[in-house]
Amino acid sequence: MKLFGTMKKNQNGNLEIGMCDAVDLAKEYGTPLYVIDEELVRRNCRTFKENFKSYGIETEVIYASKAFLNLAICKVIEEEGLSLDVVSGGELYTAIRSNFPLNRVYMHGNNKTEEELRLAIESNIGRIVVDNRYELELIQELCDELDKNIDVLLRVNPGVDAHTHEYIQTSKNDSKFGESIFSEDIYEVIKSFMKSERVTLRGFHCHIGSQIFQETSFYMSVSVMIDFISRIKEKCDFVTRELNMGGGFGVYYCEGDSPIELGNFLSNMVVSTKEECSKHNLAIPKIMIEPGRSIIANAGTTLYKIGGTKKTYGEKNYIFVDGGMTDNIRTALYDAKYEAVVANKLESNTNIEYTIAGKCCESGDIIIKDIVLPEVKRNDILAVLSTGAYNYTMASNYNRIPKPSVVFVKDGIARLAVKRETYEDVLRNDVMF
């Protein structure tokens, strides 16, 4: 079991995050509660900024906001000098309301609506990442209507095996994302961009998947993409000025996970791009990456209050908590694995194997299977680690359960970033007729 960032055992024997006692946080803000270690978020941002660079090469680190997004994190990301990746009108609107510099916003998505694209164009965002040729037509129409020009990247599918869960591979040849670089049609697609008077194609974007532990997958992606832009130069006379290699850098969730050592790897990514360009006699484009999970996952902890325990006829021990798949759907979706501690019993020596179950009316509402913990009792505080990514953002109101609140902790100060929903919030959009 690993503790991350500012986590430690304090003098009371309790879990401490950002110099704040987790038990006290649970009492003050209620449970379930998402706790974000702000210092670790900033440290992770700096790791990417400081290592993804090389003399004479323009680089950019773009935070993938789908991992975790609210007004507070926008402020942190801006302060740390990263750009922002959004994939919906809601995410873009959050960036707008946070006063994030819109020239540093990149808009993704495989089926952007007319409303979303209109907002993006009107807001003069930095780039739209175009998913397909039909989206280009819509963007051109909107630019004509709004009398605006826009810079774009074209998302392409390099067909690189990411060696990760099937559901989070995004570069397979039958992926819903992007245009295949192996299709003969790709040349006509690019030529159609080049004819546009309103839309300027600056380069390409690819993303091979998420939670990837093998460096070779990323290096292969670089090699394939540089070969592709070389072919595009030859066949279309198009010079690629920007190349976005996406994200997908894996993180530690549980024993057996072996994340890439980011410092050397990020530097090597830049060097690899430089070398591949040299092989093909290409000018080095600006290169970008999009970390999300690797910035926020280990910085997040979810606190639950234990309601009780049960031993089944089959001798299985359950812990029941006051949250579940409404605040963490990843276990049900991906069979995700987590580690956890009892925040008020870090010094306990008893060991019992439990399965941690949520309160939703679903057999699959399981947070962790078969974890060894101290013997627990009602009102103990369970801390599930590494829940910063895709937990808050994927939360739901299933069973009409209000969504939890979010607090940022740093230097002994806890700041509320998202209010806890009330029952009235759950009903807010209902209409009685």
Residues annotated in a binding site: 248, 290-293, 330, 334, 362, 390
Neighbours of 196 (CB within 10 A): 17
**Beta pairing, strands 405-410 & 413-418:** antiparallel
3-state DSSP assignment of residue 247: coil
206 is annotated as an active-site residue: no
Q: Which residues are annotated as a binding site for pyridoxal 5'-phosphate?
A: 248, 290-293, 390
Note the helical H segments in 262-337.
Answer: 262-279, 293-296, 330-334
Q: Which residues are annotated as a binding site for substrate?
A: 293, 330, 334, 362, 390
194: tokens are 């080049």
Distance between CA atoms of 205 and 125, rounded to whole angstroms? 17
Catalytic residue among 20, 143, 360, 361: 361
Distance between CA atoms of 97 and 63, rounded to whole angstroms? 17
Question: Residue 423: what are its φ and ψ, rounded to 5°?
Answer: -60, -35
* 82-91 contacts, C-beta under 8 A, 24 or more apart: 82/45, 82/48, 82/49, 83/126, 83/288, 85/290, 85/292, 88/116, 89/113, 89/115, 89/116, 89/119, 91/65, 91/66
DSSP per-residue string spanning 125-150: -SEEEE-SHHHHHHHHHHHHHHT--E
Per the CB < 8 A criterion, the answer to whether 190 and 229 are in contact is no
Per the CB < 8 A criterion, the answer to whether 35 and 22 are in contact is yes
Positive or negative torsion for Cα 356, 358, 359, 363: negative
Look at residues 311, 324, 306, 341 and name the one whose alpha carbon lies nearest to residue 391: 324
Question: Residue 358: what are its φ and ψ, rounded to 5°?
Answer: -90, -175
Check residue 359 and report its DSSP letter.
Answer: S
Could you list the active site residues? 361
